[in-house]
Amino acid sequence: MKIIKLTTYRVPPRWMLLKIETDEGVVGWGEPVIEGRARTVETAVQEMEPYLIGQDPSRINDLWQTMYRAGFYRGGAILMSAIAGIDQALWDIKGKVLGKPVYELLGGLVRDRMKMYSWVGGDRPSDIIEQIRTLQKGGFNTFKMNGTEELGMLDTSAKVDEAVRRVAEIREAFGTTIEFGLDFHGRVAAPMAKTLLRELEQFRPLFVEEPVLAEQAEYYPRLAEMTSIPLAAGERMYSRFEFKNVFAAGGLSIVQPDLSHAGGITECLKIASMAEAYDITLAPHCPLGPVALASCLQVDFVSYNAVLQEQSMGIHYNKGGELLDYVVNKEDFKIVDGYCNPLPKPGLGVVVDEERVIEASKNAPDWRNPVWRHEDGSVAEW
Ligand SMILES: O=C(O)[C@H](O)[C@@H](O)[C@@H](O)[C@H](O)CO
Ligand SMILES: [Mg+2]
C-alpha cells in the first residue's frame, strides 16, 4: 500500500481536517491545526508531503521520525501540529486495514469508560452556575472554566477577590457534588500565581491549569510546594523532549498534551508513559474537533494514568460549527453519566462526513483569538 494524496480542509468553527488517501482506497483522517494558525499548519502539512507520497502508510514510526528529524529544525507548535494530524491519519489507516480500533493495536483497553469534562463560562467567566446546572442534566459532573479575566503581572486585591468569589459561589451552589478545574490560561504571571493559589486553596478546585505560562515552567515545582491544588499543564508543550524537563523538575500533577499539537498518537503515547513513571496523571487537551477527540480517546483507553478528557461540545469557541457536525457515527461519542465508551469502529473510530466537510470548507473562517489589552494599553494574555 502507498500514500498517494494529502488533502486539507479548513472548516468552521476553527479546525482543519486532513484526508490521506492510499493506492488501495483506504483513507485516513487527521486533525492538524493550531487554533488561529490553521493556514500556517496547512502549509507545514504540504511541506511534509515529500516525506510521505509513495511511502507505505503502515510504517508510522519511520514516517514519524522522518517528519520530525529529516527537516533539521524540529519541534514547536506548527511543525508538531502538522506531524500530529498526519500521524493520526496514519493510525486511522492502519486500524482500517487491520479492521481494529487503534486501542486494540496498542495492547487493548485499560478501562471500560473514560471520564469527560465540559467547559463553562466562556472567555470572561460568567453565568457559570446556570451553565453547570444545564450540563449536570446532561450527566456531566466535572467542569472547567477560566480562573480570571485579563490579569496584570501585578494586579489588585479586587481582581483576586473577583476570582475567589466566583469559585466560592460554585462551591456554595454545588458543594462537592461537582468538581471543577480552573484554567489560568497563561493569563496569570508568577507574581500573582502564588496569591491566587493561596486564596483559592480553601475551595479545593480539582486542578489549576497553566498556573503560569508554559515558558515559565520552572515555577511549577515552586508553586506546587506552596499549594495542595494539583497543577496541570501541557497544551503549549509539543514533544516528549519538552515534557521530560518539566517531569524531572517536578510540580505537575496533571499533564495535558494536545493530540493535535504534540505529534499525534505516536508522541502522546510516549508522553503519557513518561508521565506515568513520575506518577503524573494524563488529561489530554482537546478544545478541538472530532478527529482530535477520537485520537485522545484512543490514547486514554490504553493509558493507565489517564484521568480526565476534555471535549469541546458547547465550548465558547464553537461558533459556526459543533463537535459532531462532521461526524456520521455521532452515537459513538455519546457521553453518559459524564463518561464516554471506547470508540468501536476500526481506526480512530470516527466516520467523517466527507461531503459535509467539503461543503463547509468552501467558506472556512480565518478564526483568530481576540487581542486583549490592559487598562494601560499593553497587550494582555488572552
Ligand atoms: O484548556 C483549553 O481548552 C485551552 O486553554 C483553550 O482554551 C485554548 O487552547 C484555546 O483553544 C486556544 O485557542
Ligand atoms: Mg487550557
Q: Is the peptide bond before 13 cis (omega within 30 degrees of 0)?
A: yes
Residue bearing the CA closest to ligand 1, atom 13: 35
Range 367-382 average pLDDT: 97
> Would you state the pLDDT for residue 150?
95
Range 135-152 average pLDDT: 95
The verdict on the CB of residue 285 being under 6 Å from ligand 1 is: yes
pLDDT in tens, 248-259: 999 999 999 999
pLDDT band at 126 (very low <50, low <70, confident <90, very high): confident
> Would you state the pLDDT for residue 124?
87
Return the amino acid letter for 163: A
Which-ligand-closest: CA of 119?
1
Nearest atom (ligand 1) to Cα of 144? 1
Q: Please check whether residue 233 is in contact with residue 252, taking contact to mean a CB–CB distance below 8 angstroms.
A: yes
Q: Mean pLDDT of all residues in the chain?
A: 97
DSSP-assigned beta bridge partners for residue 209: 183, 232
The verdict on the CB of residue 287 being under 6 Å from ligand 1 is: yes
**Any idea which residues carry the catalytic annotation?**
185, 285
- 112 assigned binding-site residue: no
- 276 assigned binding-site residue: no
Domains identified in the chain and CATH numbers: 3-100 (3.30.390.10), 104-348 (3.20.20.120)
How far apart, in whole angstroms, are the C-alpha atoms of residue 197 and residue 178? 20
The verdict on the CB of residue 35 being under 6 Å from ligand 1 is: yes
pTM of the prediction?
A: 0.98
Residue bearing the CA closest to ligand 1, atom 12: 35
- 235 assigned binding-site residue: yes
Residue bearing the CA closest to ligand 1, atom 5: 185
Nearest CA to 139 among 169, 118, 122, 167? 118
The verdict on the CB of residue 92 being under 6 Å from ligand 1 is: no
How far apart, in whole angstroms, are the C-alpha atoms of residue 270 and residue 302? 12
Which-ligand-closest: CA of 289?
1
Region of 260 please: left (phi>0), alpha (psi -120 to 50) or beta. Answer: alpha
> Would you state the pLDDT for residue 355?
98
Say whether pLDDT at 125 is over 90.
no
Q: Name the residue of 188, 206, 235 to mutate for ligand 1: max ligand atoms within 8 A of Cβ.
A: 235
The interface predicted TM-score of the complex, written ipTM, equals 0.98
Find the 236 Cα to ligand 2 centroid distance in Å: 9
